Amino acid sequence: MEQRILLTECDDANGLIAKITNQCGLFSYNIVHQDQFASTETNKFFMRSVLEGDFTYQNEFLQSIKCIVPENSNVKLVSRDKKRIAVLVTKEAHVLGDLLMKSFAGSLDAEIIMVVGNYPDLKELTEKFNIPFHYISHEGISREEHEKRICEVLDTEDLDYIILAKFMRILTPTMVAHYPLGKLINIHHSFLPSFIGAKPYQQAYDRGVKLIGATAHFVTNDLDEGPIIEQDVIKVGHRYDATKMAKAGRDVERLVLVRALNKVLNNKVFINGNKTVVF
């Protein structure tokens, strides 16, 4: 039987779980899996329900849900089809290479539609997987013009997410605002909120840290301060300089981004203010 995912985000209220699951039963949908969370901080309710059944009357079902939840709710019924993503890169290959391999092997639930780089270095790697690579140089033009050219290429495709995979450029507010919150995802080579901005491994070395990490987060206008999706750390010692830290950190960056993407791609992440609810 076909499966779809019901995503509900609304103001919290009494009896929401019972009301929604009752409607699922009325439309003969089997609830395969369900997660829910009510935030006392924001008074918001979040629920993810994996449904199985005949979705011929899905529009009527959605309307019935909207009639029983508070006003201004966000209710969606989404398919389990692979998401379409684009990847922005600069020169470092380890994160992109991991995404390409996992997509090729089927362990990443996404189709990589294109890769866009501000240097041509990763063109050969990308095209080995028969994926288009678009080289858009930032040299000799303004940041705004560079981003405009990137967006023109990205907007030729219907993309679900745009992944900044070691894309070493700070996005302007114009480009951030061009896409809805939640569409741009970045991997930052630091355990945020520590060591925001450039050269985080040098910052970590200067502070003599014993743990380094990586953070996957949604992009906002606040540099490296968007809602966090996934994080992890590894231990380092006094024998590590900034270069060795960066080398050790590459594995963490790859793992954190893939874990974050698998959750996002499976509709397990809700944005709750500047935080996330991750099922």
Sheet holding 228-235, edge to edge: 133-135, 110-117, 83-89, 161-164, 184-188, 211-218, 228-235
Strands (E) located in 169-274: 184-188, 211-218, 228-235, 269-272
Angle among Cα 253, 257, 261 to the nearest 5 degrees reads 175
Count Cβ atoms within 10 A of the Cβ of residue 214 and give its class: 0-12 exposed, 13-18 middle, 19 or more buried: buried
What distance in Å separates the CA atoms of residue 5 and residue 25, rounded to the nearest whole number?
Answer: 15
Bridge pairing between strands 44-53 and 74-79: unpaired
User: What three-state secondary structure class fits 42?
Assistant: coil
- The one catalytic residue in 11, 224, 232, 241 is 224
What distance in Å separates the CA atoms of residue 181 and residue 128, rounded to the nearest whole number?
Answer: 32
Is 224 a catalytic site residue?
yes
Q: What is the dihedral of CA 116, 122, 126, 131, to 10 degrees?
A: 20
Bridge pairing between strands 2-11 and 44-53: antiparallel
- 115-146: buried (b, 16+ CB within 10 Å) or exposed (e) per residue? bbbbeeebbebbeeeebebbebebeeeeeeeb
Active site members: 224
